């Protein structure tokens, strides 16, 4: 069984696998449109995490993890719990650099789930990320880890890197405590 990671699974899979490969899924793009009240935010003040959005001609690069057959049930149970905040399993075709393909499983949060936030102006997404924190840590840390992991994989993602740039601009331009005195 192959599991496709495009968000925190890239740097923190937290399940057993015996191989991993860079992979691409077509007709999907990664977006910070899913609310997180269980990991990177709290009820009443959700963080923003990535989901996949259907987009013809789009593609999303990530990491495909190959799990041993004997571990499949446990991996799915663990991921179902981890991704319970609005995500569901979906079958996708994974495209590898060598031209081969495989069927895989990915977790997607559709617009009909109660935590879905949808599109917003990038600066508003950045503000929300900068001000959110949950049981798994700050939303800013999530963004930073994702951007760093994508760079390590040599994957370009204009949406992620634009949000990262907006967060950095907000940090650089916010007044310091001494400015407020």
For 125-143, write each residue's pLDDT tens digit. Answer: 999 999 999 999 999 999 9
Q: Which residues contact 36 (CB under 8 A, 6 or more apart)?
A: 46, 47, 48, 49, 85, 115, 132, 134, 139
For 95-104, write each residue's pLDDT tens digit. Answer: 999 999 999 9
Q: Does the residue 123 lie in any domain?
A: yes
Domain count, the chain: 1
Q: Does the residue 180 lie in any domain?
A: no
Nearest Cα to 137, choosing from 47, 44, 39?
39
**CATH number, domain at 96?**
3.10.490.10
* pTM recorded for the entire structure: 0.92
Structural domain boundaries enclosing 40:
2-173
List residues with catalytic annotation: 83
Cα distances (angstroms) measured from residue 72 to each of 6, 31, 77, 105, 137: 19, 28, 9, 11, 28
Q: Does the residue 132 lie in any domain?
A: yes
pLDDT band, residue 4 (cuts 50/70/90): very high
Q: Does the residue 181 lie in any domain?
A: no
Q: Does the residue 30 lie in any domain?
A: yes
Nearest Cα to 142, choosing from 64, 38, 4?
38
For 48-71, write each residue's pLDDT tens digit. Answer: 999 999 999 999 999 999 998 888
Burial class (CB in 10 A: 0-12, 13-18, 19+), 51: buried
Mean pLDDT within 15-43: 96
What is the torsional sign of CA 154, 46, 55, 121?
Answer: negative
């Amino acid at each position: 069984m192959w599991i496709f990671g495009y968000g925190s699974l890239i740097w923190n899979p937290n399940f057993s696998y015996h191989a991993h490969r860079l992979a691409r899924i077509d007709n999907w793009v990664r977006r910070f449109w899913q609310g997180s009240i269980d990991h990177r935010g709290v009820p009443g003040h959700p963080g923003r995490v990535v989901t996949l959005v259907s987009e013809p001609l789009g593609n999303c690069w990530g990491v495909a993890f190959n799990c041993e057959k004997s571990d499949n049930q446990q991996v799915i149970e663990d991921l179902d719990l981890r991704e319970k905040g609005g995500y569901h399993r979906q079958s996708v075709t994974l495209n590898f650099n060598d031209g081969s393909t495989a069927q895989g499983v990915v977790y997607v949060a559709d617009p009909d789930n109660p935590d879905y936030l949808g599109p917003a102006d990038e600066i508003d997404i950045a503000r929300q990320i900068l001000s959110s924190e949950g049981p798994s840590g700050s939303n800013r840390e999530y963004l930073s880890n994702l951007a760093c992991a994508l760079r390590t994989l040599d994957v370009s993602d204009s949406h992620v890197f634009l949000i990262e740039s907006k967060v950095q601009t907000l940090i650089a331009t916010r007044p310091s405590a001494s400015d407020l005195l």
